[in-house]
Amino acid sequence: SQQGEEDPQALSIQEGENATMNCSYKTSINNLQWYRQNSGRGLVHLILIRSNEREKHSGRLRVTLDTSKKSSSLLITASRAADTASYFCATDHRDNYGQNFVFGPGTRLSVLP
């Protein structure tokens, strides 16, 4: 079942610019996590934000969470070519089948040198 949806599906920016990716979800969550994946290999955890938190920072990353709108955003500032990857949000939530952990479809980010 698809819980999170990312927007945009693909984003292309110049090095040094900021990149913003959005994630929407449907049900109440315990937490929302952002992951990065390079070239179809393993995922790397970026940030976990809990349902009672509104904003978190980690280096050049800023994540916001609006539970009233069931949405989150990931901002990457001063982007670098090495930030080129797919970015996924994932929600920890309870549905009809119990506790579940579902990834959104992802945003493919290309940072051009």
Partner 1 sequence: DTEVTQTPKHLVMGMTNKKSLKCEQHMGHRAMYWYKQKAKKPPELMFVYSYEKLSINESVPSRFSPECPNSSLLNLHLHALQPEDSALYLCASSQVGLAGYNEQFFGPGTRLTVL
CA distance 61 to 33: 13
Asked if 72 touches partner 1 (CB under 8 A), the answer is no
Nearer to partner 1, 62 or 105 (CB): 105
Near partner 1 by CB under 8 A: residue from 16, 17, 18, 44: 44
Report angle CA 91, 96, 101 to the nearest 5 degrees: 20
What character string, x for contact with partner 1 (CB under 8 A) and - otherwise, covers 3-42?
Answer: ---------------------------xx-x-x----xxx
| Amino acid of residue 38 | N
Q: Give Cβ neighbours of residue 99 (< 8 Å, ≥ 6 apart).
A: 92, 93
| Residues at the interface with partner 1 (CB under 8 A) | 30-31, 33, 35, 40-45, 48, 88, 92, 98-106
